[in-house]
Chain A
Amino acid sequence: MIGGLFIYNHKGEVLISRVYRDDIGRNAVDAFRVNVIHARQQVRSPVTNIARTSFFHVKRSNIWLAAVTKQNVNAAMVFEFLYKMCDVMASYFGKISEENIKNNFVLIYELLDEILDFGYPQNSETGSLKTFITQQGIKGQTKEEQSQITSQVTGQIGWRREGIKYRRNELFLDVLESVNLLMSPQGQVLSAHVSGRVVMKSYLSGMPECKFGMNDKIIIDKAGKGGVTNEAGKSTSGKQSIAIDDCTFNQCVRLSKFDSERSISFIPPDGEYELMRYRTTKDIILPFRVIPLVREVGRTKLEVKVVIKSNFKPSLLAQKIEVRIPTPLNTSGVQVICMKGKAKYKASENAIVWKIKRMAGMKESQISAEIELLPTNDKKKWARPPISMNFEVPFAPSGLKVRYLKVFESKLNYSDHDVIKWVRYIGRSGIYETRC
């Protein structure tokens, strides 16, 4: 199991050092600094073995978190734990920075003592941690409160405490998708997938039992078969359902129920959390198409023309559109003309950045640029990195639709109808690249 956990600043100075196992000595702290943080080369692996000691590290801005062990630990678990650790710290004191860590070092030690015991991760849900790791001491608690804390920390529903009350029961569902594309210069889709998340903000009283439904092809098909099997029924439901390649759920979701009935039921944590993640690869709506044209005019000039086409309902508006056209390292000057938005050559980033605030569906826009090159004797050809794009659209490129989210709370006096529900769809660009 994890033998020790260190946090360093960018210089390699130790900010936090907690050793859980006897086989990890003080020299391990230095070994990581010397061999990884101060290493001349770029980091070649997130797992490093130095003198039979293994170091797992993740970096958050310029802070290094390293877990150390001498045993054959579950590597996936160590990384998951490090991420979780970051989440917990962020929810306690915001951004993970040297300053914040130094300011909260006593709290971090307290947390580390609680969420990692002898190197075994323990309950790390911020919801329940915040009930008893408060930096205020736990003097004032009554016996009932104490046992409520412990039963929540160890209980089956460790993510939610009892007795939550809201005057207004309300919930927000955000379907956040990032659409990823790799397209060849000829416009052929090399790979495309949507990775989506359903984020829920719940402000519900009591211990509500929720059921979430979406236009998952498997369920719709099942329902179609069970019910009326006429042509009409098929065409209405079949068209709008989507094939989900795979999905993962927050730990509140009853996985065995999903496995057997494909129904998503759970008792939600209070406040904001990620209900599920999913991935689709079929019938993706690609919001934009990028058509590049690069022409080399002699050895010292490049002509670039890029057309973007928006491919969604004209009534919808895409926002925050940014097209990034890489330029060679030996660029000396760039002249740009664009029909819409603003374009600028950014020498420090070796790219022309073209920004458009808004663009409606089924429209087209174009940029052309002349790139002057310095003559070089460098034999190596320019690698031509792909043209990448950023945008935000108000729909789910996967086609996912929320069909319902039902809330049942038998003990309290409110019903599904009393809950105010909000649903929002946001599609963003993930890695959206077109080779040129």
Chain B
Amino acid sequence: MTDSKYFTTTKKGEIFELKAELNSDKKEKKKEAVKKVIASMTVGKDVSALFPDVVNCMQTDNLELKKLVYLYLMNYAKSQPDMAIMAVNTFVKDCEDPNPLIRALAVRTMGCIRVDKITEYLCEPLRKCLKDEDPYVRKTAAVCVAKLHDINAQLVEDQGFLDTLKDLISDSNPMVVANAVAALSEIAESHPNSNLLDLNPQSINKLLTALNECTEWGQIFILDCLANYTPRDDRESQSICERVTPRLSHANSAVVLSAVKVLMKFMEMLPKDLDYYGTLLKKLAPPLVTLLSAEPELQYVALRNINLIVQKRPEILKHEMKVFFVKYNDPIYVKLEKLDIMIRLASQANIAQVLAELKEYATEVDVDFVRKAVRAIGRCAIKVEQSAERCVSTLLDLIQTKVNYVVQEAIVVIKDIFRKYPNKYESVIATLCENLDSLDEPEARAAMIWIVGEYAERIDNADELLESFLEGFHDESTQVQLQLLTAIVKLFLKKPTETQELVQQVLSLATQDSDNPDLRDRGYIYWRLLSTDPVAAKEVVLAEKPLISEETDLIEPTLLEELICHIGTLASVYHKPPSAFVEGSRGVMHKRLPARTGSGEGTECPDVGNAAGGSAPEAAPSIIPSQGDLLGDLLNLDLAPPTTTGPTPSTSGMQMGGMDLLGGGLDSLVGTALCNILIMSKLNSSLLSPQLGGDIGGSPAMGAGFGAAPTVMPASLNAPVGGGLGDLFDLGGGVGMPMGAYIPPKTVWLPAMKAKGLEISGTFARRAGVIQMELVLTNKAMSVMTDFAIQFNRNSFGLAPAGPLQVLTPLGPNQTIEVSLPLSTVGPVMKMDPLNNLQVAVKNNIDVFYFSCQYPISMLFVEDGKMERQVFLATWKDIPNDNESQFQIQDCHLNSEAASNKLQGSNIFTIAKRTVEGQDMLYMSIKLSNGIWVLAELKVQAGNPNYTISLKCRAPEVSQCVFQCYEAVLKN
């Protein structure tokens, strides 16, 4: 008998026929009918109309039939909730069946019936099954708790199933333990703070014991769960590693990868000089290599993971280059991944071999693969300086093949090689120029144009070459247009005499005929630069370019750390955090590598970027460690791009830089070089020429003229332009202060290497009652940054930006701007540790970056913080002595008067002063922006540089921060 016939019944009236058969008296016929129903269900037909008839077949002792009916129920119960109730009795009965297989079947199926009404009836049977004598039933019941939790989490908690599930972790049967761990891990994911999986050394020990005994799948559940644990110290970490390493020899690749995940994570805690650390490193390489002899799909997963591991710990696989050589029959996805890893592992030692391979690959058939191979040769040249020459000659060989896409790809990478080793390989330009006509891809055209422009002085017919591109200017893509514009301007600056016409042509094409604002703006800027001060133009346009960096496609370190915690999972395959592809709350919890915590003396951890927040308040701010759901909040923040309203005073400072460049030129406009006038006299019809012409004539309306130019100029040209940003703010409000409030020096909050080239440093200040965050943004990357926006995470005092981050012009490479961001204290509040910690997200066109910094609490001291004497006395007495904390301020050489004055500048008000036995006692009050009062008693003894300070506050946790402010204010 074959079952395939069930797939073929497609005639009309089928449902009625089936109905009759289902109600047949003959068992065989019934079974046949149910099979037909399931077959129809499989191919997507709606057979829900048969629900009552199918459910009627449930009462049977034929297990095969029963399973089929259950399958049907799972599919359709949701659409027929009322009828599904009919099935409840059978389930309850089956849960009492003497046969454990039937009990388990019932409990497994009922969890899959997602009908609220039913779930309540199922609690009792489930409770019994969780304590069943048979392990098969218990392991099934454990998973059922997770199912039920998915339907009705509250019910599961109310019924106490979670506790029962926790008890199952100590079950004698390893499979029950494994399933309980899997269920708990899943439930815990949707309750990040529940501490459900209360992992402690005892429970870890149980898991490690079960690990040796359970099925391969169970081992995966347990290892994945272990990976979430953070050992207390390096000893515990080592002992867990020792018990996990045998798993590396498991035949199941998933077990191996999960074990690798645990080891990679816990290794982070081991001191590097430990012998065991080296042993572990050595043990990791062979299993990773073995994964490459698995089936291709698994190889792909393994390679994506190895890519991460190689970035995190290059030493593990540095001698294993050969295993990543591409085989002719590898599937394309394996080939591409291997290539990536080969480049990462390329070094001086193995470069010859790698290059020989890459050259081989460049002759293959698959276009993507060939392109990547060619690109890889270029990357080798940039990465291993000694090989550059060989790489260039290999690329030239490839260009000779005249295969179109190979040539184009080669030209793109040669441009990068020029950027890395200027003035070294220009001899090849002639060969490149020969292939000009065959280039049809924008990237290759742009690269070629860049090369021509950059080396215009060495190419005799550079003008002809560029002119040839100019013909179809409007059909080119933006990147080619931009490159062409720049290249021709470069050419003009290098050979001004013969190319005036060309430059005029391109400028007018870019400014008048183009709809693209970027192109137009760049055109205008060049135009003005050229027209005002060719010397300056030369300095700007022909400036020496910074060398490009070696590794360009590394994964950003914080992301890499998170992905290492997700080895083996989809996140590691996509190279994206789970939040990027998982919906809802599940899996968005960010994971992080543990910091190294020595059990003995403190071991230094130079390579751990996110070492736990420093204890010293001035410690360099760290990239935000992913603190559970905190960062989740940050990520969910909506980073709106800045609205382009009119420039506010806070931004004019940064635009001044740009203005000086042009404005200064304008002053000397009358004496401009001949060529400028030449150009301008030809600009009769241009939008710009009347204004510039007017300026030449000495018109005072230059501000207006600039204001009209699109997007470049701020309207506030005539605003008082002081020497710097600080002046501007003082103008705004710095009135009537005896002494300026203390402003800590700027520190680097976000180093460029952690934020794809964006460096952020800054400080906080309180000016005229407004809290300002003063930021210095520096673009250390090669590309222009735009669309800045900022957001804060919830913090202790509800600090939040009072407006958008005002960065209105794009931030060019190597450009720096200062921005001041007014802050309000009405944002959402959450206690941070340390109290004055602030987690910030900054967005630009490239990515979103996170950092944390600490602000001086003094900026929260409000101006009306002076307490009445009587109130002060009463409050002092009222606050319990437990809340008093005492600190020493050392090496402070101010007398009490000066100290008092200085503190007042930061809104710390002296209320009374008393002298007792040569000791000045100053009583002071402070009010924080959230209404907390802090009372202080400062003891100053003449001739003694050490002050004693007692702080009393109803919220004693602020005392430490307040003390730090005292120290900072008094010492500065």
Residues of A within 8 A of B (CB): 1, 13-17, 19-23, 26, 29, 42-47, 49, 52, 54, 56-58, 69-77, 79-83, 99, 102-106, 109-110, 113, 117-118, 120-125, 132, 135, 137-139, 141, 143, 146-147, 149-151, 153-156, 158, 182, 184, 190-191, 193, 195, 245-251, 254-256, 258-259, 274, 276-277, 279, 379-381, 383-386, 388, 431, 433, 435
Q: CA A49 – CA B574 in complex, angstroms?
A: 9
| Segment touching A, from B322-330, B545-553, B900-908, B925-933 | B322-330
Please name all residues of chain A whose beta carbon is closer than 8 Å to the beta carbon of B566 when the two chains form the complex. Answer: 72
Instruction: Jot down 13 A-B pairs with beta carbons below 8 A, ordered by A.
Output: A15-B42, A16-B42, A74-B569, A75-B568, A77-B568, A79-B254, A80-B253, A137-B63, A149-B101, A156-B214, A191-B325, A279-B289, A380-B403
Among B247, B258, B578, B581, find the residue whose CB has the most chain A CB atoms closer than 10 A: B581
Give the Cβ gap from B682 to chain A, nearest Cβ, in Å.
45
Option from A109, A117, A150 in Cβ contact (under 8 Å) with B135? A150
- Quick one: which of B324-357 are within 8 Å of A by CB? 325, 327-329, 331-333, 353, 356-357
Asked if B221 lies at the interface with its beta carbon under 8 angstroms from chain A, I say yes
A44 x B135 contact (CB < 8 A): no
A379 x B114 contact (CB < 8 A): no
A72 x B179 contact (CB < 8 A): no
Asked if B174 lies at the interface with its beta carbon under 8 angstroms from chain A, I say yes
B42 x A17 contact (CB < 8 A): yes
If A1-B182, A150-B104, A385-B328 are given as contacts, then 10 extra A-B residue pairs at C-beta distance below 8 Å, sorted by A number, are A47-B301, A52-B582, A73-B570, A102-B7, A117-B179, A124-B215, A190-B325, A248-B251, A279-B290, A279-B293
A75 x B44 contact (CB < 8 A): no
Q: CA A14 – CA B214 in complex, angstroms?
A: 34
- Chain B 874-899, CB within 8 Å of chain A: the 1/0 string? 00000000000000000000000000
Known A-B contacts A106-B38, A191-B322, A246-B287; A26 and B99 likewise in contact (beta carbons under 8 Å): no
Please name all residues of chain A whose beta carbon is closer than 8 Å to the beta carbon of B257 when the two chains form the complex. Answer: 74, 76
Please name all residues of chain B whose beta carbon is closer than 8 Å to the beta carbon of A435 when the two chains form the complex. Answer: 360
Q: CA A120 – CA B68 in complex, angstroms?
A: 21
**Secondary structure call for the B interface:** helix
Please name all residues of chain A whose beta carbon is closer than 8 Å to the beta carbon of B7 when the two chains form the complex. Answer: 15, 102, 105
A76 x B298 contact (CB < 8 A): yes
Please name all residues of chain A whose beta carbon is closer than 8 Å to the beta carbon of B835 when the two chains form the complex. Answer: none
B250 x A251 contact (CB < 8 A): yes
Among A76, A109, A139, A156, find the residue whose CB has the most chain B CB atoms closer than 10 A: A76
B3 x A118 contact (CB < 8 A): no
| Segment touching A, from B85-93, B139-147, B625-633, B652-660 | B139-147
Give the Cβ gap from A105 to chain B, nearest Cβ, in Å.
6
Asked if B643 lies at the interface with its beta carbon under 8 angstroms from chain A, I say no
Among B2, B101, B212, B360, find the residue whose CB has the most chain A CB atoms closer than 10 A: B101
Give the Cβ gap from B454 to chain A, nearest Cβ, in Å.
29
- Quick one: which of B288-314 are within 8 Å of A by CB? 289-290, 293, 295-298, 300-302
A106 x B252 contact (CB < 8 A): no
Known A-B contacts A13-B43, A105-B42, A386-B328; A277 and B570 likewise in contact (beta carbons under 8 Å): no
Asked if B213 lies at the interface with its beta carbon under 8 angstroms from chain A, I say yes
From B406, which residue of chain A is reached at the shortest CB distance? Answer: A380
- Chain B 104-119, CB within 8 Å of chain A: the 1/0 string? 1000100110100000
Option from A74, A109, A139 in Cβ contact (under 8 Å) with B220? A74
A83 x B3 contact (CB < 8 A): no
B302 x A102 contact (CB < 8 A): no
A46 x B297 contact (CB < 8 A): yes
A195 x B293 contact (CB < 8 A): yes
A143 x B246 contact (CB < 8 A): no
Please name all residues of chain A whose beta carbon is closer than 8 Å to the beta carbon of B572 when the two chains form the complex. Answer: 75
Asked if B871 lies at the interface with its beta carbon under 8 angstroms from chain A, I say no
Q: CA A59 – CA B101 in complex, angstroms?
A: 33
From B213, which residue of chain A is reached at the shortest CB distance? Answer: A156
Q: CA A77 – CA B220 in complex, angstroms?
A: 8
A110 x B250 contact (CB < 8 A): no
Give the Cβ gap from A57 to chain B, nearest Cβ, in Å.
8
B249 x A255 contact (CB < 8 A): yes
Asked if B402 lies at the interface with its beta carbon under 8 angstroms from chain A, I say yes
Option from B137, B286, B328 in Cβ contact (under 8 Å) with A246? B286
Known A-B contacts A15-B42, A104-B3, A138-B101; A72 and B582 likewise in contact (beta carbons under 8 Å): yes
A248 x B249 contact (CB < 8 A): yes
Option from A42, A146, A433 in Cβ contact (under 8 Å) with B328? A433
Give the Cβ gap from B480 to chain A, nearest Cβ, in Å.
24
A150 x B134 contact (CB < 8 A): yes
Please name all residues of chain B whose beta carbon is closer than 8 Å to the beta carbon of A54 when the two chains form the complex. Answer: 570, 581
B570 x A105 contact (CB < 8 A): no
Asked if B615 lies at the interface with its beta carbon under 8 angstroms from chain A, I say no
A58 x B295 contact (CB < 8 A): yes
Asked if B434 lies at the interface with its beta carbon under 8 angstroms from chain A, I say no
Please name all residues of chain A whose beta carbon is closer than 8 Å to the beta carbon of B297 when the two chains form the complex. Answer: 46, 56-58, 79, 82
Report how many residues on chain B are interfacial, defined by Cβ distance under 8 Å.
Answer: 115
Please name all residues of chain B whose beta carbon is closer than 8 Å to the beta carbon of A57 when the two chains form the complex. Answer: 297
From A149, which residue of chain B is reached at the shortest CB distance? Answer: B101
Asked if B468 lies at the interface with its beta carbon under 8 angstroms from chain A, I say no
Option from B70, B246, B570 in Cβ contact (under 8 Å) with A256? B246
Q: CA A279 – CA B174 in complex, angstroms?
A: 31
Option from A81, A118, A258, A386 in Cβ contact (under 8 Å) with B147? A118
Please name all residues of chain A whose beta carbon is closer than 8 Å to the beta carbon of B245 when the two chains form the complex. Answer: 259
- Quick one: which of B913-949 are within 8 Å of A by CB? none
Asked if B232 lies at the interface with its beta carbon under 8 angstroms from chain A, I say no
A1 x B363 contact (CB < 8 A): no
- Quick one: which of B378-410 are within 8 Å of A by CB? 401-404
Please name all residues of chain B whose beta carbon is closer than 8 Å to the beta carbon of A118 when the two chains form the complex. Answer: 111-112, 143-144, 146-147
Top 10 nearest A-B pairs (CB, nearest first) are A246-B286, A102-B4, A150-B136, A76-B254, A259-B246, A77-B254, A255-B246, A72-B578, A46-B297, A121-B217
B216 x A251 contact (CB < 8 A): yes
- Chain B 241-270, CB within 8 Å of chain A: the 1/0 string? 001011101111110111000000000000
Give the Cβ gap from A310 to chain B, nearest Cβ, in Å.
24
Please name all residues of chain B whose beta carbon is closer than 8 Å to the beta carbon of A182 when the two chains form the complex. Answer: 325, 327
Q: CA A423 – CA B586 in complex, angstroms?
A: 52
Asked if B364 lies at the interface with its beta carbon under 8 angstroms from chain A, I say yes
Give the Cβ gap from B588 to chain A, nearest Cβ, in Å.
9
Q: CA A79 – CA B255 in complex, angstroms?
A: 12
From A103, which residue of chain B is reached at the shortest CB distance? Answer: B2
A246 x B298 contact (CB < 8 A): no
Please name all residues of chain B whose beta carbon is closer than 8 Å to the beta carbon of A69 when the two chains form the complex. Answer: 570
Asked if B67 lies at the interface with its beta carbon under 8 angstroms from chain A, I say yes
Asked if B39 lies at the interface with its beta carbon under 8 angstroms from chain A, I say yes
Q: CA A104 – CA B2 in complex, angstroms?
A: 8
Q: CA A248 – CA B578 in complex, angstroms?
A: 30
Asked if B35 lies at the interface with its beta carbon under 8 angstroms from chain A, I say yes
Known A-B contacts A77-B220, A80-B254; A248 and B42 likewise in contact (beta carbons under 8 Å): no
Give the Cβ gap from A306 to chain B, nearest Cβ, in Å.
17
Asked if B71 lies at the interface with its beta carbon under 8 angstroms from chain A, I say yes
Q: CA A249 – CA B287 in complex, angstroms?
A: 12
Please name all residues of chain B whose beta carbon is closer than 8 Å to the beta carbon of A102 when the two chains form the complex. Answer: 2-4, 7
Known A-B contacts A42-B332, A256-B246; A70 and B582 likewise in contact (beta carbons under 8 Å): yes
Please name all residues of chain A whose beta carbon is closer than 8 Å to the beta carbon of B63 when the two chains form the complex. Answer: 137-139
Give the Cβ gap from A126 to chain B, nearest Cβ, in Å.
13
Give the Cβ gap from A33 to chain B, nearest Cβ, in Å.
11
Q: CA A26 – CA B45 in complex, angstroms?
A: 11
Please name all residues of chain A whose beta carbon is closer than 8 Å to the beta carbon of B249 when the two chains form the complex. Answer: 246-249, 255, 258-259
From B243, which residue of chain A is reached at the shortest CB distance? Answer: A256
Q: CA A45 – CA B573 in complex, angstroms?
A: 10
Please name all residues of chain B whose beta carbon is closer than 8 Å to the beta carbon of A117 when the two chains form the complex. Answer: 108, 140, 143, 179
Q: CA A251 – CA B252 in complex, angstroms?
A: 8
Q: CA A268 – CA B35 in complex, angstroms?
A: 38
Q: CA A276 – CA B251 in complex, angstroms?
A: 8
Option from A43, A47, A113 in Cβ contact (under 8 Å) with B108? A113
Among A150, A247, A249, find the residue whose CB has the most chain B CB atoms closer than 10 A: A150
B143 x A80 contact (CB < 8 A): no
